[in-house]
Structure 1
Amino acid sequence: MDKTSSANPSAKARQRAPLATRTDLHPGAVAAIGPALNALLADAFALYLKTKNFHWHMSGPHFRDYHLLLDEQASQVFAMTDPLAERVRKIGGMTLHSIGNIARLQRVLDNDADYVEPQDMLAELREDNRAMAAQLREAHDLCDEHRDVASASLIENWIDETERRTWFLFEASRSQDSGAH
């Protein structure tokens, strides 16, 4: 038997208590917004790891520039993760628990190829960031619908950061991919 629970019977009861955060948002809002934010969180982890993967495996004549760009972008994506998870908890939801949980929710596709051309790396990340901006907008609309101003406010900044990443990736690959939009 656990010494803590035998010495303090209320400790065992507290361990079984649900993690319920009080919020003034309607339970339906939490039920809608929590999963949307968790999907964004899973995407942020997937995009972070993919960006780091390409950062670690970059090669070619623009190695230094691309290597530094992707490191900066990965840090920016990772910076979203804690505020996203904490926002889910603040509104009374449960957030991600594991890598398996991330894998089930992520919409950003993994790239496990042994070698990817540098321009293909930039193009793939550009499209992933573009898709993330669209998903952030959808989550923002959902937050507006449920009057979750705090989540919407955070998301507005992340949309701007994501558009900036998309723009930088577009411009960095422009000479070879000038027709991309």
Structure 2
Amino acid sequence: MARQKRAAVPEALKTPTDLSGNDTLSVADALNRVLADSYALYLKTKNFHWHVSGPHFRDYHLLFDEQAAQILAVTDLIAERVRKTGNVTLRSIGDITRRQTISDNDAEFVSPKDMLDELRADNLALVEGFRAVKQAATEAGDNATEGIVDDWTDQAEQRAWFLFEAGRGA
């Protein structure tokens, strides 16, 4: 995916920080990418929640809804972390589309097993994104981002584990 051209932070949005602006650019880029992926994963998880069918309907329907709520809850924390580093975050669906690496699923029908497998793979891709955030934060000396991303990583790993275990019986 092509790197986005960075617009200057408008004066009215400049957030005071002791972090170097140049050092935080890579952190903001990584955070904005996982934010875009989080929104893509949230919508895909809700899509599967709305369209799941079959003998495990209730279990998967509830699992997908719980996971979607957890993903959505993290999006605000990610965006606010970008702002705390003195940068700007996503502004639109188009911005999400340009930055996301997790692909959408517009299929008319997806089997429950394929839903579980796809969401598991996407959560693991999100884990990779969080690890990139951690590395960028470490290099920038941004210990706050470096610390908080561990919780987000753990949540995504847990979602992937639950999806894997649920898929064993599908």
Is the TM value for this pair above 0.5? yes
SS state at 1:131 partner: helix
SS state at 2:79 partner: helix
Give identity over the alignment, percent.
54
Deviation at 1:139, TM superposition (A): 1.0
Q: 1:76 aligned to 2:66?
A: no
List structure 1 segments (4+ residues) > 4 angstroms apart after TM superposition.
none
1:10 alignment partner in structure 2: none
Deviation at 1:32, TM superposition (A): 1.1
Q: 1:109 aligned to 2:120?
A: no
Deviates more, 1:26-35 or 1:165-174: 26-35
1:166 alignment partner in structure 2: 160
1:46-70 deviations in Å (ceiling 9; x for gaps): 0000000000000000000000000
Q: Distance in 1 between matches of 2:128 and 2:30?
A: 13
Q: 1:66 aligned to 2:60?
A: yes
| Structure 1 gaps, min length 5 | 1-15, 177-181
1:97 alignment partner in structure 2: 91
Name the amino acid aligned to 2:162.
F
SS state at 1:136 partner: helix
Name the amino acid aligned to 2:133.
A
SS state at 1:114 partner: coil
TM-score of the aligned structures, taking structure 1 as reference length: 0.86
1:52 alignment partner in structure 2: 46
CA RMSD of aligned residues (A): 1.1
Deviation at 1:37, TM superposition (A): 0.5
Q: Distance in 2 between matches of 1:69 and 1:55?
A: 8
Deviation at 1:145, TM superposition (A): 1.2
SS state at 1:36 partner: helix
Q: Is the 8 A contact 2:33 2:129 kept in 1?
A: no
Deviation at 1:159, TM superposition (A): 0.6
Q: 1:135 aligned to 2:120?
A: no
Q: 1:86 aligned to 2:54?
A: no
Q: Distance in 2 between matches of 1:34 and 1:132?
A: 16
| Structure 2 gaps, min length 5 | 1-9
Q: Distance in 2 between matches of 1:88 and 1:17?
A: 16
1:125 alignment partner in structure 2: 119
